Amino acid sequence: MRNPLIKHYILLIVLSLFLGSSSFAQKAKKNKVRLKANYVKVMNSEVYFDLQATAKVNGENITIPNVELVIYNVVDDEQIELGKATTNMGGKSRFTLKDLKSIKPDSTNTYNIEISFEGNENFSRTSKSISFKNASIEATFVKIDSINYISATLINKLTDSVVIGQSLTLQVQRLFKPLLLKEFNETDENGSILVPIPDGIPGVDGNITIEVVLNDSAEFGTVKAIVNAPVGIPIVDESTFDERTMWSPRSKTPFFLLILPNLLTLGIWGFIIYLINNLFKINKS
Amino acid sequence: MKNSNKSSRRKFLNNGLKLGLITTISGIGLSKIAAKLSAQTANDSNTKMELMTMDGTLIQVDSSEVIEVAHSKNEDRKYNVREGMPNRKFVMVIDLAKCKNALKCQSACNKHHYITGEHAWLKVYKMQESEDTAPYWMPTTCMHCDHPACVTVCPVDATFKRRDGLVLIDNERCIGCRFCMAACPYSTRVFNWEEPNQGEITMNMQMKHQTENNSVEFAGMPSIKGTVDKCDFCPHSIKENILPHCVTACPNGVFYFGDKYEDTVTNGEETLRLSKLLIDKDGYRLMESLGTRPSVYYLPPVNRLVDFNEGLDNYTDFKSVEKSE
Amino acid sequence: MKKTDSLLLDLAPQKFGRIGIIWTWTLIIISLIGIVAYIDQVIKGQVVTNMNDYALWGIYISNFVFFVATSFVGTVTVAILRLTNNSWRTPIVRIAEIISVAAIIMAGITIMIDMGRPDRLLNLFIHGRLQSPIIWDVIIIPIYIVISLLLLYFPLLPDFALLKLFFEKKNPKLSKWYGKLSLNWTGSLAQKTIQAKSIQLIAVLIIPVGFMLQTIDAWLFSTLFRVGWDSTNMGAYFISGASVAGVGALVTVVYVLQKVYKLEDYITDYHFDKLGKFLVLMCLIYLYFNLNEYLIPQLTSKKEATTHINVLLTGQFAPLFWFVIIGGLIVPVIVLLFKQGRKPLPMFIIGLLVVLGSWWKRYLIVTPTLLHPFLPIQGVPESWHHYFPSLHEWLITAATLAMALLIITALVRYLPIIPIQRTADEQEELELNKNTAK
């Protein structure tokens, strides 16, 4: 138990140093930092926190790159450090955990996470707390009467009971942002939804990756289940990369251009060599 | 036979990509932790540190045993930069109804590609077809044509068309004949007539080329005297699932970007089905009759909410690149 | 041998007098200045030119096209006149061959000046793509250089043998060189047969190669979308233009050499008369092509075509355009239709006009088209809306022209301008015919 105390001591010393240095600085006006944290749980995969540090500087909202954020798991009175993350050029950072087992819930079975920023010469220290309970979505692809559906159930992992009346979103996983299929699917008395999959959605080899998402709920954060539905239109590769075209690289020259110019060139050089040979013949005779 | 080879290759690539991504993320995570701790080891020797392993358990480790881990490189995925990403066909949709000549796209592109010449890669034209028809603002990027005239005429294969639709330039091979520039009907290519004074970053950029970046996917970083540059659809970003800079910079949501095979384009806020968008809003391509088959679609400037004239404040006839002092 | 003795006195290469030396040194100085300017261009980049992202090709390219066009004179004079049995060509064939060689060699050099990265020249061979018209150009130009050299060399063999004997006492070192170059020419039947066969082959070969050279040069423009270049006419247009440029250059050089070397006995008014008629024919054909190119598009008034033509006919480039058409084509045609116009001195002036007009015509092919692209020119400095060559470009271009003249000068200095052996043979034949007729 000594470790957290040492950490607090170090924090105090560091803070007082900062305070001291700032009092010597000439007009060290520190900007207030706002931390945003979103908790996302992906079923049968990882859990992550999307963090962002922003501040209002000269009336404008800017993102803060390259600052260190410390993530703690707060269990009742204990603060366990989970790790650190540094924001990228966009002021964002993603802190990933393998699953929820790596953190401990408090006595009310709520997970509490605190993200803190120590502050530096330009920005004041701040922290942000988020809390959430563990929920799961079980999603499957079903075919009923030759119509394709996604069936999903929202379960509260604490009580192992279904959650009624929550709005789930159905979307297709895409490269940059997901493509929305249907929003506001409310879970019924069984905590389930049954949504038909529209036709005509393209996917590699006809497979569409569908996400069933509980978006930013106050109680459970964001929970996402990924299910593969092999009911898409297979992608047809239209690329001419493998063909012989006028714009392909040298290795794929069209045959006409490979044969005719080379024949002509070789033919003409053949004549030229014959002529030069004639010069030698004249020389010898 | 060919199909199963292709699909098994795709699956392999897919899995390889996923594996690589997870490895990279956890590797970065672990290295970040390790790096921070190693900084402390200089001061505290013989103290134990609490670390989290890859399966999520907390362990106590002697701080002296913690060393910094290097970033995992992307070379693990057998990726040929001249071939590009498989199963993708990148397209852009530009909604002329929303463009107000804010020029944020142009400044973002200029900034992120360190454009220091007189000629921006992304230009917003003041267009008016005839006296009676409405004037409008038209941003143009490289069209990444499917029948690219520029690629056809390049004598040394310095510019090339990839499988994923991008047309890129290899500045190490370009001989500066400018035939591609003469061929492009969209006037989108730019030539480095002199040494591009990109400042001290040039040295850093050149070092990065030798170690991490591939110049073909990092156009303009650095630019090379006597060669050609142009918009590259930001392959360095889209490879990481980040939208190109112009798309995110536009405050009016004018640029949509996406994969045509996925039939999805997004401008950061709205994500729409490409085919539906083009039908609903009557999308078209520039100079379609030339047969270049561009990858950039335009949505006609109808039902505009803002007057064209408001964009005139930003309009600089003779300048497209802000020069710093 | 008697015949050749008197011919040799007239036609053997002589040392340069004062004018010759001043001429040569002037050319050398101009060339050196140009080389310095070029080195500056390589160091600083092509920013020293006035080219920009719109006027992306300038006088380097139009100069290159001019050289390629002028090199057509070899094909036209030697091969076509030969195959049509125009025997008056004998005294001027060598001059034509010399101009051809000089022009095509300078074409190869000039195009490298336009490259942004001349240090990567080898990429053209290591990474060359057959789909690119530039690679077709890279293939055909060396072929034409070699064929032109062979066309010059084969008929020279007997002359070298004669010169070797002529200079044996006067200039032994020179004599030795002539000896080596004559390849042991003895005039034996075997040698003459090989030579005759070879010349016949070259004469036939150079026609398709020459035509291909001009056509590929034209295709550098007509394979692109731009207005003014995207013309189905281009190949034939360039061949016709090359004929005009080549024959014009020939006329000019023939006159200068005739005067300087006092060759009035060999290149007579008759030859000028014939050349004049030839030039008129070439100009008329070219005029016909120009009519198709510049008048007819006006009738369909396609926007882009109209803009382009208006800029040439009445706009920014009008003075140059009318100088080229009237001064470079119409006036020559009119003057040369009259017998007095085909006398040596008027021919020389006309020849100069034609050459000047040809050079500027290529400028008019390259620049105006580039200055009105499909999308409007916006967002670039005001100077980018115009193009006029910079000092560097003028100096370097002048140097290339000087170097071409230097090559001609060097060849004229050491080669007999008029084929000696051939003239002797023809004179003998004439006498024989006279005798048999009696």
Q: Would an 8 Å CB–CB cutoff place A81 in contact with chain B?
A: yes
Q: Domains, chain C, ranges and CATH?
A: 23-419 (1.20.1630.10)
Q: What is the pLDDT of residue A7?
A: 65
CB pair distance less than 8 Å for B163 and A241: yes
- Considering only CB atoms, C117 lies closest to which of B175, B182, B195, namely B175
C-chain residues near B291 (CB < 8 A): none
Residues with Cβ within 8 Å of residue C279, at least 6 apart in sequence: C244, C247, C248, C251, C332, C336, C350, C351, C354
Q: CA-CA distance, C115 to C111, in Å (whole number)? A: 7
Domain residue ranges of chain B, discontinuous segments joined by +:
2-76, 90-314
pLDDT in tens, C55-98: 999 999 999 999 999 999 999 987 788 888 888 888 999 999 99
Residue C368: its pLDDT value, please? 95
Task: Tell me if B226 and C116 make a contact (CB, 8 A cut-off).
Answer: yes
Chain C nearest-CA residue for A251: C129
Chain B residue at shortest CA distance from C40:
B194
Nearest to C184 among A247, A250, A283 (CB): A283
Are C143 and A269 within 8 A, CB to CB?
Answer: yes
Residue B18 pLDDT level (bands cut at 50, 70, 90): low
CA distance A46 to chain B (A): 10
Is the Cβ pair A261, C185 closer than 8 Å? no
Chains B–C, number of C-beta pairs less than 8 Å apart? 144
Is A208 near chain B, with CB under 8 Å? no
Q: Are strands A33-42 and A221-229 parallel, antiparallel or unpaired?
A: parallel
CB contact under 8 A, B29 and A176: no
Residue that wins the pLDDT comparison between B209 and B279: B279
Give residue B43's pLDDT band: very low, low, confident or very high (50, 70, 90): very low
Residues of B in contact with A238 (CB under 8 A): 89, 146
Burial call A129-153: b when 16+ CB within 10 Å, e when fewer: ebbbbbbbbbbebeeeeeebbbbbb
Please tell me if residue B155 touches chain C, with a CB cutoff of 8 Å.
yes
- Chain A from 109 to 148: CB within 8 A of any B CB: none
How many residues are listed for chain B in this entry?
325
- For residue B267, the distance in angstroms to the closest alpha carbon of chain A comes to 9
CB < 8 Å to A262, chain C = 130
pTM of the model: 0.85
Q: Do C54 and B187 touch (CB under 8 A)?
A: yes
pLDDT of B256 strictly over 70? yes
- Say whether C120 and B175 touch across the interface (CB within 8 A): yes
Does residue B135 have a cis peptide bond before it, meaning omega lies within 30 degrees of 0? no
**CA gap B7, B96 in Å, rounded:** 39
What is the predicted pLDDT for the residue at B101? 94
**Averaged pLDDT score across all residues of chain B:** 82
- Write the pLDDT tens digit of every residue in C273-326: 999 999 999 999 999 999 999 988 888 888 888 889 999 999 999 999 999 999
> In a mutagenesis test of the A interface, which of C123, C124, C126, C130 is the best target, namely the one with the most A β-carbons within 10 Å?
C130
Q: What's the topology of domain B90-314?
A: Alpha-Beta Plaits (3.30.70)
CB A108 within 8 A of CB A69: no
Q: Does B211 touch chain A (CB under 8 A)?
A: no
Find the range with the poorest average confidence among B23-32, B205-214, C116-125, C204-213.
B23-32
Report which residue type is found at A43.
M
Q: Which residue has the tokens 């004079």?
A: C77
The closest CB to that of C198, out of A246, A249, A275, belongs to: A275
Nearest CA in chain B to A243: B163
- Which chains neighbour B (Cβ–Cβ under 8 Å, 3 or more pairs)? A, C
User: Is A240 an 8 Å CB contact of chain C?
Assistant: no
In this model, does residue B293 exceed pLDDT 50? yes
Strands A47-57 and A92-97: antiparallel
- Return d(Cα C339, Cα C273) in angstroms, integer: 7
- The pLDDT score that the predictor gives to residue B199 is 76
Summarize pLDDT for A201-246 with one digit per residue, the tens. Answer: 999 999 999 999 999 888 898 999 999 999 999 999 999 999 999 9
Which residues of chain A are under the pLDDT cut of 70?
Answer: 1-9, 11-12, 14-28
User: What structural domains does chain A harbor?
Assistant: 2-132 (2.60.40.1940), 135-234 (2.60.40.10)
Residue B230's nearest CA partner among B173, B147, B298, B150 is B150
Residue pLDDT, tens place only, A5-21: 666 667 667 666 655 55
pLDDT of residue B40: 44
Tens digit of pLDDT for each residue in C107-158? 999 999 999 999 999 999 999 999 999 999 999 999 999 999 999 999 999 9
Spatial CA neighbour of B74 closest among B29, B11, B26, B20: B20
Q: B119 CA to chain C: closest CA distance, Å?
A: 6
Give residue B66's pLDDT band: very low, low, confident or very high (50, 70, 90).
low
Whether A202 has its CB under 8 Å from any CB of chain B: the answer is: yes
